[in-house]
Amino acid sequence: MANHKSAIKRIRSSEVKKQRNRYQHKTARTAMKKFFEITKKKEAEKELPSLTSMIDKLAKNNIIHYNKAANLKANFAKHASGLKK
């Protein structure tokens, strides 16, 4: 157990950050799964900007690596362009 007041605060704040990061990451993964289930092109194109924004925010906050974010966004665009009307 921590002996210093600052260490106790650090444990508390890191736990809050961990919970926030886990929530954001899980929410994004759920959105990704739903996106890949979309079968209509118009609906996918409508959903793509919000999903891309979500991925960018995860990368910006170092929840996921920026290269992984780029790969995910490329896969989303590829999926959306390959759909039929």
Q: Give per-residue pLDDT as tens, 44-71.
A: 999 999 999 999 999 999 999 999 999 9
- 8 touches 2 (CB < 8 A): yes
Q: How far apart, in whole angstroms, are the C-alpha atoms of residue 57 and residue 24?
A: 9
Instruction: Identify the H or E element spanning 28.
Output: helix 5-37
Q: How far apart, in whole angstroms, are the C-alpha atoms of residue 37 and residue 40?
A: 9
Instruction: Compute the mean pLDDT over every residue in the chain, rounded to the nearest whole number.
Output: 92
CA angle 48, 18, 27 (to 5 degrees): 25
CATH, range 5-82: 1.20.58.110
- 79 touches 44 (CB < 8 A): yes
pTM: 0.79
Residue 14 exposure: Cα atoms within 13 Å on the Cβ side: 6
Task: Indicate if the pLDDT at residue 17 is higher than 90.
Answer: yes
